[in-house]
Amino acid sequence: MLQEMPFLVTKRSADKLDFGLRSVWRHQMRIPLSDPSRTVVDVLDDPSLGGGIRHVASVVTEYLSSEHRDDDLLVEYGDRVGHRSIFKRLGWMLELRGIDGPLFDACLARRSAGIVKLDPTVDTPGRIVRRWGLRVNVALDEREDDW
């Protein structure tokens, strides 16, 4: 805790931190902040950083309808992070929303073999969406019975 605020600290290799950042000054201290595209990639990679997959889905929805949306940059950052689960989660969310086009196609092209959990922190079973190699173990909306 810092000033009664909880913080989550994660470890990343240096090559994963040298892109998608800008610096801002707070008093006498320079602080690196991620740009919107980098933030989206990071929370898709590790949904716990974004408060869980339900919140991550909201973040993705907001990003896709914002002036910050940059599909090419999103794909570039996802490639640089190097975890294909980013594209599995994003592609599945795009498909749910009926969004196709170059970003959707990029996600399809970057799928990997194997099954990943939609939310890795949740141990509940869920149906497998083979197209995306994704175990949908969390409903994105409480009104949904099954995904």
**Res. 120: pLDDT tops 60:** yes
Inside any domain, residue 57: yes
**Res. 145: pLDDT tops 50:** no
Whole-model pTM?
A: 0.85
Average pLDDT of the chain is 88
Over residues 61-74, the pLDDT tens digits come to 999 999 999 999 99
Domain count, the chain: 1
**Res. 11: pLDDT tops 80:** no
Inside any domain, residue 69: yes
Q: Quick one: tokens of 146?
A: 């099954």
The pLDDT, as a whole number, for residue 41 is 96
State phi, psi for 46 to the nearest 5 degrees: -135, 90
DSSP state of 29: E
Inside any domain, residue 121: no
- Range list of β-strands (E), the chain: 21-26, 29-34, 116-117, 127-129, 134-136
Residue, of 13 and 102, whose pLDDT is higher: 102
- Angle of CA points 132, 140, 110, to nearest 5°: 20
Inside any domain, residue 47: yes
- Residues of the domain holding 106: 20-111
The pLDDT, as a whole number, for residue 147 is 38
**Res. 8: pLDDT tops 70:** no
First to last CA, the chain: 36
How many whole angstroms separate alpha carbon 42 and alpha carbon 32?
A: 15
Map tokens 């599945």 to a residue: 92
Inside any domain, residue 86: yes
Inside any domain, residue 72: yes
**Res. 140: pLDDT tops 70:** yes
Over residues 38-47, the pLDDT tens digits come to 999 999 999 9
